[in-house]
Chain A
């Protein structure tokens, strides 16, 4: 038998997951709108951010209400505080997807500089990190969360690679600068999304183990 409070906690988890799936879709659509030069999709992605923002506020309000009315303790307290922090990271990842879509709108107006290869790979890894960290959140799986943390380096590496490659374009031909800079932005946005997924995974470790691992060296985690 689950109590009213447990049902409220389940509903909270559901909302966080819903926000997570909307963010995942936002990332994938934003990158798709760039790669496939689909400006309609980019505009839709930007427009849908309103839904994310509403849900973000709603989750915060739910958490504050639960803290005030239920005085949660131990695992319940960690679940609610984790939900609050995760939501902030998800909302920021959503905003970064909007940024990607905005760059896509601009880039789609000009001739394509080069085929996008690393950008979709980065997006795929970042999305996977986000998905798995939320999966770890629901299942209270600290091992999976810790595994997610190890993937951040790949995204950082790709970001560095994209930057160097575009630098080469810019040195060779100054007319590419405007487009190249925008693509480096997109790369940076994706790198930031992976950082937000990392934050979520770190919070999941706190949720499960009660230990804050942010700013810790990897061998101490």
Chain B
């Protein structure tokens, strides 16, 4: 299905197909991603939502035999980020991913956040200090860690570690943030902090989130895409999807009757 929305777009997938070797995992996915909005991808396990998310930062390039067809266009440059001529490393700087389980580097809190900048070749301590503070404030972690920036990241609680990973993702000033089930390993308090953060972050950055928790999709996202067997079955404003979806399959999935 092809969908249009009446907002500025940050990205758009056009006839996107993806293959894990012979396995055709994404089928003609057309999806607009609104700028500075949260787009949630929902659907049963194996529906292709994580596969789709990973296309955005070219994670699939890490494995042989994976193949893309179609386009993922980033605006305003109109750059097709899955084109072989585009450097995946550069894309990952601009489109960062936060994973299911917090995965801080075995380094200090400070160095975790500074890492992306150092990889980028930023050397000035003043600039890095500034970016570390800004990112940690951005991920609502600053007040909790400002006095122990040189402690190991592993000293932090799970929820704090996840916010550290968000700060690390923010440090390179990304254009899109990708969240792959970012709270499935967290307790309800840490979860609600991350959700609040996502809603705040969309003032600055475009967000795509994969979640198994439908109430989470309902709480944090502006748009929701329901995927099934590698296809987008329905895409609409989140309030529409959760009150009156158009497609019977969507209805059955979100009311818990299948999936």
Contact = CB atoms under 8 A, between A and B. Distances in A.
Interface stretch (A21-29, A72-80, A91-99, A139-147): A72-80
B255 A72 contact: yes
Contacts of A210: 240, 243-244
Contacts of A75: 251, 255
Given A73-B214, A73-B243, A74-B254, 16 more contacts: A3-B257, A5-B256, A73-B218, A74-B241, A74-B242, A74-B245, A74-B251, A74-B255, A75-B251, A75-B255, A77-B242, A77-B243, A78-B244, A210-B243, A210-B244, A211-B244
A73 B255 contact: yes
A215 B243 CA distance: 20
A66 to B, nearest CB: 13
Interface of A: 3, 5, 71-78, 209-211
5 contacts: A72-B255, A73-B255, A74-B242, A74-B243, A210-B240
B189 interface: no
Nearest to B251: A74
Nearest to B218: A73
Contacts of A78: 243-244
A42 to B, nearest CB: 44
Nearest to A6: B257
Contacts of B244: 74, 78, 209-211
A77 B256 CA distance: 12
B85 interface: no
A166 B118 CA distance: 91
B139 to A, nearest CB: 28
A71 B255 CA distance: 9
Contacts of B240: 210
A214 to B, nearest CB: 16
A2 to B, nearest CB: 10
Contacts of B214: 73
Name which of A74, A76, A210 has the most chain B CB atoms within 10 A of its CB. A74
Interface in B167-182: none
| Interface size class of chain B, counting residues whose CB lies under 8 Å from the partner chain | 10 to 19
Interface string B203-238: 000000000001100100000000000000000000
B216 to A, nearest CB: 11
A74 B240 CA distance: 8
Contacts of B257: 3
Contact of A71 (B215, B241, B251): B215
A77 B214 CA distance: 14
B237 to A, nearest CB: 12
Top-7 shortest CB links A-B: A210-B244, A73-B254, A76-B255, A74-B251, A73-B242, A74-B255, A74-B245
A210 B251 CA distance: 12
Contacts of A73: 214, 218, 242-243, 254-255
Nearest to A72: B255
B224 to A, nearest CB: 11
A80 to B, nearest CB: 11
Contacts of B218: 73
Contacts of A209: 244
Contacts of B245: 74
Contacts of A71: 215
A208 to B, nearest CB: 10
A5 B257 CA distance: 10
A210 B257 CA distance: 19
A5 B256 CA distance: 10
A77 B242 CA distance: 9
B42 to A, nearest CB: 11
Nearest to B254: A73
Contacts of B241: 74
A73 B115 CA distance: 42
Contacts of B243: 73-74, 77-78, 210
Nearest to A211: B244
A82 B241 CA distance: 18
A73 B217 CA distance: 12
A3 B242 CA distance: 20
A209 B245 CA distance: 10
A78 B243 CA distance: 7
Name which of B218, B250, B254, B256 has the most chain A CB atoms within 10 A of its CB. B256
Interface in B18-49: none
A206 to B, nearest CB: 9
